[in-house]
């Protein structure tokens, strides 16, 4: 049975969705005021692993990821660039969509924009005002956290120890204080032309109400899974629970999953330290998207990840080892059978699935795969793998790749001219005509192919694109 660590219960809970095999999943998406950095992408990759494993386990996942296109930061930076808010945010939204495609992150079913759900936010705020849980001041509408008796349950914050007479209008307030938070900010001159009319006053939404409105509009009043980084537990997710449950009277989310922080070269990521990387920064340095994805995929989501440039190189080596293993399997054409290979395959599959079912323990799952690869490579060298067995092993690697998505599983189809050159080179090697063999290798290299001579035959594949 699949078990997931639930931040709400602080333990691994057996996963059982609200309805049959249907999973309603919401992920906090990007605030589109700049290019997303690798810390952001770790959160999106962790959600991607979860979603892929649910699909692997035959669940039907309806996945929503919001786009925050109005908040303090988007307004501030659009003004700095002298651009209208919509044009500014769409620029970075487009960049985000390009980046997740490069990283092979499965697309969400819907990407609701905050600016397109203002009416739903106003409706929620009106209900909170009517219930006496929200109140208006001279600068906005606020949520009274003391009116929600479960406030602090997710983050373990003790509100009795906090100041009771402070209201926070800024979205980026300190995260170690529990205070009344803004649901709606009345218009002031700093907002310029960015405002909406509401029964309680002209203005714009606070950050937290946006996710409640969009998630309930797209998925209903109760969600199976809500994901995000640990930095969002408080105040953002705590506030989502408070405002949502105060309106509906129902449990908002059944399972809360949070991924840990990312460090870069052992330090907190910061532009001033020169260790702040976007995906584009890393690819401009020559690193492949597959290596970057593998590095982000291969560690457990609840462990801090120390992201290093050497780590990307190691990730590339891991991807290459797996890819070469698959490519070698396609060169096997003998009928010799070895029961131990199939027993190892069966055991690895069981251990892989068991590890993934244990709170998505992908580091252990992949560890089992590499043990198998090491042992089977020895069998391949000793011609102890049959073509039939090789096909079964490839099918298992296809299953692994459903999750990691960094491998090319299909057999390499070479152009006829390349096949002709390979055969000509093989003939030269048999005749020990090394000069011709080397000349033909160079010819293939110049066409963008890598040539590797193995005991099973010549392995030819396109060189990796940086």
pLDDT tens by residue, 276-313: 899 999 999 999 999 999 999 999 999 999 999 999 99
- Give the pLDDT mean for 195-210: 97
**Whether residue 174 has pLDDT greater than 70:** no
Q: How many residues does the chain have?
A: 466
Name the pTM for this structure: 0.92
pLDDT, tens digit, 9 for 90 and up, residues 332-349: 988 877 788 999 999 999
**Whether residue 465 has pLDDT greater than 70:** no
pLDDT, tens digit, 9 for 90 and up, residues 226-281: 999 999 999 999 999 999 999 999 999 999 999 999 999 999 888 778 788 999 99
Residue 463: predicted pLDDT: 79
Closest by Cα among 426, 450, 451 to 437:
426
Question: What number of helices (H) and strands (E) belong to the chain?
Answer: 14, 16
Average pLDDT of the residues of the chain? 93
pLDDT, tens digit, 9 for 90 and up, residues 37-57: 999 999 999 999 999 999 999
Query: Given 3-state DSSP classes, what are the helix, strand and coil percentages for the chain, each rounded to the nearest 5?
Result: 50, 20, 35
Residue 275: what are its φ and ψ, rounded to 5°?
-120, 30
Confidence of residue 164 (pLDDT cuts 50, 70, 90): low
CATH number at 3-259: 3.40.50.620
**Whether residue 170 has pLDDT greater than 80:** no
Percent of the chain with pLDDT over 70: 97
Q: Is 344 helix (H, G, I), strand (E, B) or coil?
A: helix
* Residues paired with residue 3 on neighbouring β-strands, in sequence order: 14, 358
Distances (CA, A) of 387 to 117, 326, 423: 56, 13, 21
Closest by Cα among 95, 178, 104 to 143:
178
Q: Cβ distance 398 to 409 under 8 Å?
A: yes
Task: Tell me which of 164-178, 208-222, 233-247, 256-270 is least confident.
Answer: 164-178
The contacts of residue 63 (CB under 8 Å, 6+ apart) are 25, 26, 27, 51, 106, 108, 109
Separation CA 361–CA 461 (nearest Å): 32
Residue 297: predicted pLDDT: 98
Residue 165: predicted pLDDT: 59
Secondary structure E strands in 265-385: 267-268, 305-307
Residue 453: predicted pLDDT: 85
Residue 466: predicted pLDDT: 46
Q: Is 84 helix (H, G, I), strand (E, B) or coil?
A: coil
Side by side, which strands form the sheet with 253-259?
A: 60-65, 22-27, 223-229, 253-259
Q: Cβ distance 49 to 360 under 8 Å?
A: yes
- Give the pLDDT mean for 14-25: 97
Distances (CA, A) of 384 to 67, 328, 339, 379, 456: 53, 13, 10, 5, 12
- Give the pLDDT mean for 319-343: 89
Residue 338: predicted pLDDT: 74
pLDDT, tens digit, 9 for 90 and up, residues 401-410: 999 999 999 8
The torsion angle over the Cα atoms of residues 399, 403, 404 and 408, rounded to 10 degrees, is 40
Please state whether beta strands 60-65 and 22-27 pair in parallel, antiparallel, or not at all (unpaired).
parallel
Give domain 310-404's CATH number out of 1.20.1740, 1.20.120, 3.30.70, 3.30.470: 1.20.120
The contacts of residue 87 (CB under 8 Å, 6+ apart) are none
């Amino acid at each position: 049975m699949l078990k997931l660590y639930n931040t709400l219960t602080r333990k691994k809970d057996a996963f059982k969705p609200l309805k049959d095999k249907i999973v309603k999943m919401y992920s906090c998406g990007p605030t589109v005021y700049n290019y997303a950095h690798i810390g952001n992408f770790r959160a999106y990759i962790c959600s991607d692993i979860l979603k892929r494993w649910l699909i692997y386990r035959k669940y039907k996942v309806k996945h929503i990821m919001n786009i925050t296109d109005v908040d303090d930061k988007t307004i501030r930076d659009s003004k700095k660039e002298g651009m209208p808010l919509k044009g500014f945010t769409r620029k970075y939204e487009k960049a985000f969509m390009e980046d997740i495609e490069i990283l092979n992150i499965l697309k969400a079913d819907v990407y609701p924009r905050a600016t397109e759900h203002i009416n739903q936010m106003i409706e929620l705020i009106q209900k909170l005002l009517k219930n006496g849980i929200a109140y208006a001041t001279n600068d906005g509408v606020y949520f009274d956290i003391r009116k929600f008796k479960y406030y602090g349950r997710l983050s373990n914050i003790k509100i009795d120890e906090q100041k009771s007479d402070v209201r926070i209008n800024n979205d980026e307030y300190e995260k170690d204080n529990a205070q009344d938070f803004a649901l709606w900010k009345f218009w002031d001159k700093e907002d310029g032309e960015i405002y909406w009319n509401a029964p309680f006053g002209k203005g714009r939404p606070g950050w937290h109400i946006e996710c409640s409105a969009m998630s309930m509009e797209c998925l209903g009043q109760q969600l199976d899974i809500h994901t995000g980084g640990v930095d969002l537990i408080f105040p953002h997710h705590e506030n989502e629970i408070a405002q949502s449950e105060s309106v509906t009277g129902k449990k908002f989310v059944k399972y809360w999953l949070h991924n840990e922080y990312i460090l870069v070269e052992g330090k907190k990521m910061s532009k001033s330290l020169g260790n702040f990387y976007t995906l584009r920064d890393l690819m401009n340095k020559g690193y492949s998207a597959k290596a970057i994805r593998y590095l982000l995929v291969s560690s457990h989501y609840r462990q801090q990840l120390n992201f290093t440039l050497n780590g990307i190189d190691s990730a590339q080596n891991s991807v290459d080892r797996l890819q070469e293993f698959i490519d070698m399997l396609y060169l096997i054409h003998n009928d010799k059978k070895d029961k131990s290979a199939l027993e190892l395959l069966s055991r690895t599959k069981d251990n892989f699935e068991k590890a993934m079912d244990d709170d998505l323990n992908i580091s252990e799952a992949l560890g089992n795969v590499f043990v198998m690869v090491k042992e089977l490579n020895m069998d391949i060298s000793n011609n102890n793998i049959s073509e039939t067995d090789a096909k079964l092993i490839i099918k298992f690697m296809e299953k692994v790749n459903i999750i990691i998505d960094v491998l090319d599983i299909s057999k390499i189809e070479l152009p006829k001219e390349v096949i002709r050159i390979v055969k000509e080179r093989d003939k030269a090697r048999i005749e020990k005509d090394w000069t011709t063999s080397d000349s033909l290798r160079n010819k293939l290299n110049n066409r963008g192919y890598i040539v590797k001579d193995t005991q099973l035959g010549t392995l030819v594949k396109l060189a990796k694109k940086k």
